Structures are given as structure tokens and as C-alpha cells.
Amino acid sequence: MHDLFARFRTRPIPLPVTLSAATLSAILIGSALAHGVHGQARKAVDLSDATPLTIASTVDLSTPFARIAKETGPAVVNINTEILPHQDAKAERGPAAPGDDGDEGGSENQSPNMQDFFNRFFGGAPGMDGRNQQQQEERALGSGFIVDPRGYIVTAAHVIEKADRIYVKLSTDPESEQGHRARLVGLDKATDLAVIKIDVDHSLPTVKLGNSDAAQPGDSVEAIGSPFDLSQTVTAGIVSAKNRRINGSIGGQFKHIIHTDAAINPGNSGGPLLNMNAQVIGVNDAIVTQSAGSMGIGFAIPSNTVVEVYNQLIAPEHKVVRGSIGITYQPNLNSAVAKMYNASTGVLISSVTSGKAAERAGLKANDVIVSVDGKPVKDGDDLVDNITTRHPGSKVTIGYLRNGQKLTTTCTVDDRAEIEQVASDRSSDEPGAPSVSPSKTKLGLTVADLPGNAPAGLHGVVIQSVIPGSFADELRPQVGPGVIIEGINRKPVNDRSQFNAIVAGLRPGEDVVLQIVYPNSGGQSTLTGGVLPQ
């Protein structure tokens, strides 16, 4: 008893200093029960009047939210990605090349200088024979939903844009499996939307798309996704507001965001926001948070925007085409500027891109655009909404003010992507600015010249990245960051400019064979190739 009391006293509790005999007795009895001396107490209880519990009869208490989840859930998917890590630069043995037998002693033909070169400049390269799969970093990043029974899936671009491998897990797939390998169809960073595809031997369930313009603040909505990798999670709320324009990466010029208080958490990105007719009215995209969790401020890309972007991404060019007149502008006019330029509304041009639509039409910096085809322009967002929906080559009438005088001009709309490329090319001319390989769109590769102190006799370009689902991504033997390309279609490659020139001449449907060198192959080349997609 003394030992028992001593044990009890090791747990401080807020009791009076003086304990009555009854209180002390109750404490000791409770302590005894807590320490397993409960068999005798159970014997003292008469159980003859105890009635067993029963499970209640099934009663349908389903709400509209439950119906929507049941109807739509099978078409909502979990998206997992893999990002290939760099090997430790201190590793004594580099990645295995095809034909390497895995002997820890290494090959007699292996060049220490070659491996040191790759370890120093590239941190090693990922294994190309699949033996380093367990070293790959797997991340369950988001959600998506099936819009075509043949396996076409809509998700958020930021979910998959940096992935080396994309996997889609259906609602019917076992939890232990990684899912189906997906290919990237196309993505649009301006709206943060992407389309991916999986190949299956059966028809898949799909969602119904709604008209996001019909959604109103106060309407009930439901979100389904995989927050924190918890698949098929359902949350509900209302539409808090429409046509939000949020500064930063979650906004953009082409997204009239739906604001909702339905709980959106990391991993929900790319999943559907549904109305009470089980129709998708938005793609869950981002949250405002101070804790990495939902604070009731979530944003979804409207379904009408999804339809426009999707239809262009599945077209032969797999890209979104937008119009532009080639200007930069001040988003809003303050009162002093408005008085000075006699313009209560409009867009003040800051600069005009050389050789593009606005310059050809005679527009200049400090002109104020006040109308397009007779429709008043309120501000920069209004102008962008009007022009970007127009097809390149179409003509518009621009009304503008110059020194207080009202003027008009006819402008032939340009391709926004081409104008952005001009700006990119100018910035890449600056010392130290990186340039984009033209092989990115054809082969799905970005490459760089070899460093000046590369091993003697080594020539070609080194792969920096491979786009998931691209021509290069599907090659067997595989290629990846750190692999050298020495030649294409029996033509030697000595530097990036020569590589780009050869790639520029490749045509869809043509056989393409790459002569490659793996980092630890001792300079021995390997051939890999395939047919360039149409």
C-alpha cells in the first residue's frame, strides 16, 4: 500500500494540502482500478439486467452533398508525381548505363575523369536502367478530374509542370498501387490549367461541366480532392465572390477567379468545385493562408475558362493562342494623369513593341486607348480581356487620345506568344542570361554546352531537363539530365547551336536516333530513338 501511494504521488494534481480519510480512500481505490486491480470490482457487479446494444436500422439521411459526392467521386483522381533527384556529388560510383552488370568493382573501361566531371558539374545523373527507382522522390501533389471517357484529365498546371513522371490513381485503384502513367497533353501557365491523359482498356467515368457564369455569391458548392494525399475528400461551402483578380501567381490576366469558403488544402489543387447540380463550375487552384491549411479563402478557375483552354490544348498544336497588339501599359490612371491627358478612363501606353501590331498601326507611348471597335475601355484588365480573345490576324479599330485629340486606327492583332518570345529573346541577349533550346517543343529536351574543362575527346551537348510525356521522355534506352548527346541521325553534334540547327530540320513522323553517352560509361556511346510525334 505504501508503494501504491508513493506511485500515486509521482503524478502532481491540484488537490488541497489536507485530505480527508474519505477522499484519500476514494483516490486509493481509483488508483487501484487504474493499475489493473479491477477483476474483483467486476465480480461485484450484477449484469443480469444489462441489455445488449443493437445497430440501428438504415435510414436515408443523405443530403445533396452526399448525392453529388457519390455521383462525381468516381471521376475525381489523385495525381502523384516523381522528381528525379541528383545523386550525391561525393558518391564514388556514378549511375549505371545500359549493359552495366552492377559489379561494385567498376569497369576497366570506366574513366575516373569522366565521372569526376559529371559529379562536379551536374551532381551525377539519375540511373537510366531503373535500378535507382527507390531513390526517386515521390510526392502526391494534387487532384484532377476526368472529362473524357478515353482518359483525358483536367488539373492545375502547377501540379505537374515540374514533374519527371506523372501518375494518376483512379478511385477504384488499390491504395498500395502508384497508379497509371500519364502523358502531358498540354498546359497553359497563364491560367494554370493542364490536360493529361492515361491509357486504359475501358471507358472511364466523367464529370459534367457547368456554366460558371451562372454561379452567384451565396450559391452552395462542394469540393472533392486529395488534400494532404487523403483521396476522395469532400468539403462544402458557398461561392464567396466572383471575378476576383488576385495579385501574384494565383491570379493572372486571364483568370476571373471564383472565391469560395469551401475548405481547400494542399493537394486539392486541380480538383473540381461543383454546384448543386453536380456540375463542375471551377478547378480548385489556390488558397490564402498563414498556416498552410484552409482559412476559408480558396480560389477556383472558372469552368468556362477551362473549356476554352482545354479545347485549344487538345488541338494539334497543343497550345493556347491569344491575341496581342504589343504594348505595355499603366494598369490604372490616377486623377492627375487623367486630367493631364484628358482621359477619365482608358489605358495609358507605356511602350510599344518594335515591329508589332500597335507600332504598325501608328500607336505611340503616352497615347491613351479609350475604345476597341467602339466599345469603351475602362482599364488594362478590360483591354486584355478584349484583345486576347481575338484570333491573330483579325483586325480591330482602336480609339485613342493623343495630346487630348481623339483619333482612331485599324490594328491587325498579333500572336501573343510571338510577342512574348521577342521580349524573351531580347532578355536572353543580356550577358549571362540563359537561352531556351528550340528542341524543347520537338523533342521535349533542354540542353546546354559542355563546360570548358570537359574531358578531352568528349563532344556534344548535355541534357538539362526532359518534359514528361514528350518524345524524349518515352525513349528506350532512357535519357535524362546529365546524359550527353553526341549526334542526331548520324550527324555529329559539337555544341548547342549545331544541335539546334539539326533539330530545326526534323519533321513530324520522322525517325530520330540519338547517339548518347552516359556519365559512367567511359565514353562509350549508346543509340536510342523513336518516331517524332505528328
The residues that are catalytic are 158, 192, 269
Other CB atoms within 10 A of residue 402 CB: 15
Smallest CA-to-CA distance from 302 within 241, 231, 380, 227 is with 241
Sign of CA dihedral 331, 334, 337, 339: positive
Q: Is 121 left (phi over 0), alpha (psi -120 to 50) or beta?
A: alpha
- Rounded CA separation 346/376 (Å): 8
Query: Does residue 386 contact residue 413 with C-beta atoms inside 8 Å?
Result: no
Cell of 354: 518594335
Is residue 390 exposed (0-12), middle (13-18) or buried (19+ Cβ within 10 Å)? middle
- Is there a contact between 259 and 239 (Cβ–Cβ < 8 Å)? yes
Question: Which residues are bridge partners to 371 per DSSP?
Answer: 376, 399
Q: Which triple of cell numbers denotes residue 192? A: 494554370
Question: Which cell numbers in the block locate residue 325?
Answer: 497588339
Are 256 and 283 in contact by the 8 Å Cβ rule? The answer is no
Closest CA to 11 of 33, 25, 29, 31: 31
Residues contacting 339, CB < 8 A, separation 6+: none
Distance between CA atoms of residues 74 and 51, nearest Å? 42
| E-only strand ranges, 451-498 | 461-466, 484-488, 491-492
If 0-12 CB within 10 Å is exposed, 13-18 middle and 19+ buried, where does residue 494 land? middle
In sequence order, the 6+-apart residues with CB closer than 8 A to the CB of 349 are 327, 328, 329, 358, 363, 364, 365, 366, 367, 368, 369
Residue 141 to residues 138, 160, 162, 203, Cα–Cα distance (Å)? 9, 8, 11, 25
